[in-house]
Amino acid sequence: MSIPIRTYDAVIVGAGLAGLSAARELKKRNHKVLVLTKLHPLRSHSGAAQGGINASLAEKDSIDLHMFDTIKGSDYLADQDAVELMCSKAPETIRWAERMGAAFSRDDEGKIAQRNFGGQSHPRACFAKDRTGLTLLQTMFEQADREGVDFLDEWYVSDIIYKDGVASGVVAYDIRTLEIVIFNAKAIMFATGGYGRAFKINSNAHANTGDALSILARHGLPLEDMEFVQFHPTGLAGSGILMSEAARGEGGKLINSKGERFMSKYAPEKLELAPRDLVSRSITKEILEGRGVGKNKDCVYLDLTHLGEKVIMERLPELRDLALTFLGLDMIKDPIVIAATAHYSMGGIPVDITGKVRMNANQTTKGLYAAGECSCVSVHGANRLGANSVLEALFFGRHVGENIAKDLDKENYLELIEANESDAKNAIDEIEKILQNNGDEKVANLREELQVSMTENAGVFRIKESLEKQKKILQQLKKRYQNIRIEDKSKVYNTDLQEALELGHMLDFATFIVEGAIAREESRGAHHRDDFPQRDDDNFLKHTLGYMDKDGNIKLEYMDVVLGKFEPQPRTY
C-alpha cells in the first residue's frame, strides 16, 4: 500500500501541558508544527493534576529555598543545574500562564493564593481550587489553538524514524481508520507523560502506557533512573484514584485503626506534609503491621472533617465529589479511606538541560527532544515534591519549544532528511503481526498479571528476592505476549489492537524498572530496598542509564549527578 508522507518543521507527540507549551512557542516563531495525540488535548492527563504548581512568590520565600526543598526532596539525586533553572523561572512561568488567562485562586489581599505541600519550607503551591491542571490545560490548549497549531487527535504514534543519532520523523496511524502515515520533520519532541499503568493500583489515565519510552529504547537509546517510581500516599482505597496532596496541605490528618495520627512517629516535624515517598511508606507500613482500616484492613483514614464545609467546598470541591462518587463517603462528615497508589515517574527519556535526548552520558541526539513526565532532565531525582510536576511540564515544555525553535533557525543545523515508505516497515510489521496472530493468550489477562505482579514485587517496598521474582515473571510474560490473539481484526476504532501495542511497550519499560531496582543496592527516595535500608552516596550517588538490546536484555551504565551549592546530607523531616 502507498504510505502518505506529510512534512513539518516540528512534530510533537503528546498534547498535555508540556506538548502544548512547546507547540505554542514554535508556532509563535512561525514554524510549521503538528501535535499528534492519542486523545483530544483536553483529555490529556495533565488535566488530572489537582493541587497546585510551585513558585516562590511570597516575601518570606525564595528561589534558594525552593531549590533546597526540591534537591533535599529528591534525596540529592536531582541535577542541581536543572533544578536551579526551573526554580528561578517558576515565578515568571506563573505570570506567563496568568497573562494567558489561567485563573488562579486568590487570597484576601487579591494575590495568587498558595497552599502548603509536602517537604516544603513555605507555602508555595499556586492553585485553582483543586483543579489546577485542568485550568492550565484549558488555557494552554486555547492559546495553542489561537496561534494556529495543527492538531491530529486520536492518532497513535507507533515508531520513530531514527538513524545514526538523527531523528527525522514518526510513523503513526489514525485510530479511526488504521490509515498509516509518515510524519517527516526536522525536529521531533516527545511529551507523552508517565507510565503508572504498569502497576495495578495507580492514579494514572488509561493512556499512560509509556509508549514513547519503549519506542526510543527499541532504537538503542537509553532510559534513565527508571527504578524511581513515586507512589502517592493518598489514592482512594481500591481504585487508586487520586486524592490530591492539597487535602493534606489544607490540614488533612492520617489516622490508623487505633485512632492514632501515626505520622508523628515517622515525621515528627512535618507530619502529613513530609515528602511523598516517606508518607507512602508510613501508610503502607501501618497496613502491613495490622493497623489498617476497612473491610480488608488495607487502607487508612484521611480525616478532613475538622476543616468544615466552607473550606472544603471553597478549596477541595472536586475531591469531595470523587470521594462521594467512588467511596460513597462525604468528607465533610466522614473520614475517607486511602492507600498508596502508583502515581508518577521520576525516570524516563534522558535529556540535557535544553531538552535534547541523550544517546549516552556524553552525547545527545540531533532533532530529537523530550519534555514533561516522559523525560528525565533530572529535576526530581529519586523523589518528586508535590506541585513540581506541573511546574516542570509547563516550564520545560515552553523552554524546550523555545530551544527547538532556535535550533530550527540555525543555518544548516536541523535539515529535513526526506523520509520514504520503507521507514514505516517496522510499524507495519508490528501491526500486521498482532492482527494476524491467532494464539491463545489474551491481552487483558497478561496486562492484569503484569500490573498485579509489579505492585507486589516492585512496589513501595522491595527486596532482591521479590525483584528477581519479578524479572522472571516479565520474561515469561514477554514470551506469552508473542502468542496473543485479539478478537477485533477490523480497521475501524480497533482498540484491541491499540491495547496490544501498549502492552508490548509496558512489558519493555517494566523490565528497565526492575533491572535498575535490582542493581541499586540502597534506599533512596521512592526506591526503598528493605535489604539495603540506607542511602549509599559512595556507590549510588549517580543516575542509572539502561540500554535494551534486540533480544530485550538490559545493560546498565551510570552517569554523574550534577551537584552544586547543596551538598548531600541526611534527609530528615
> Active-site residues: which are they?
276
Local structure of residue 209 (DSSP, 8 states) = -
Supply the DSSP symbol for 565: S
Whether the CB-CB separation of 262 and 383 falls below 8 Å is answered with no
**Which residues is 53 bridged to in the sheet?**
126
Contact 336, 323 (CB under 8 A): yes
From residue 432, alpha-carbon distances to 448, 485, 495, 507 in Å are: 24, 12, 15, 19
- From residue 455, give the alpha-carbon distance in Å to each of 240, 285, 470: 12, 15, 10
Q: At what angle do helices 495-519 and 443-457 cross, to 10 degrees?
A: 20
Reduced to 3 states, what is the DSSP secondary structure of residue 65? Answer: helix
DSSP conformation letters of 389-454:
HHHHHHHHHHHHHHHHHHHHHSTTTS------GGGGHHHHHHHHHHHH---SB-HHHHHHHHHHHH
Question: Which residues partner with 560 through β-bridges?
Answer: 542
Rounded distance between C-alpha atoms, residue 135 and residue 112, angstroms? 14
First to last CA, the chain: 62
Residue pair 360/224 in contact by the 8 Å Cβ criterion = no
Nearest to 174 by CA among 431, 438, 508, 374: 431
How far apart are alpha carbons 346 and 73 in whole angstroms? 12
Return d(Cα 180, Cα 158) in angstroms, integer.
10
CB 534 within 8 A of CB 75: no
Q: CA distances (Å), 47 to each of 132, 133, 134, 207, 483, in order?
A: 8, 4, 4, 13, 36
Here the cell at position 29 is: 516563531
- Indicate the residue type of 70: T
Distances from the Cα of 312 to the Cα of 234, 237, 333, angstroms: 17, 20, 11
Distances (CA, A) of 79 to 223, 275, 447, 560: 16, 18, 34, 9
C-alpha dihedral sign at 32, 36, 39, 41 = negative
Tally of CB atoms within 10 A around 278: 24
Q: How far apart are CA 299 and CA 286, in angstroms?
A: 9
User: CA angle at residue 474 from 469 to 480, to 5 degrees?
Assistant: 130
**CA 460 to each of CA 155, 197, 259, 339: distance values in angstroms, whole numbers, following the listed order:** 34, 15, 24, 11
Those residues whose C-beta lies under 8 Å from the C-beta of residue 105, and which sit 6 or more positions away, are 112, 113, 127, 128, 129, 315
Distance CA 31, CA 23 (A): 9
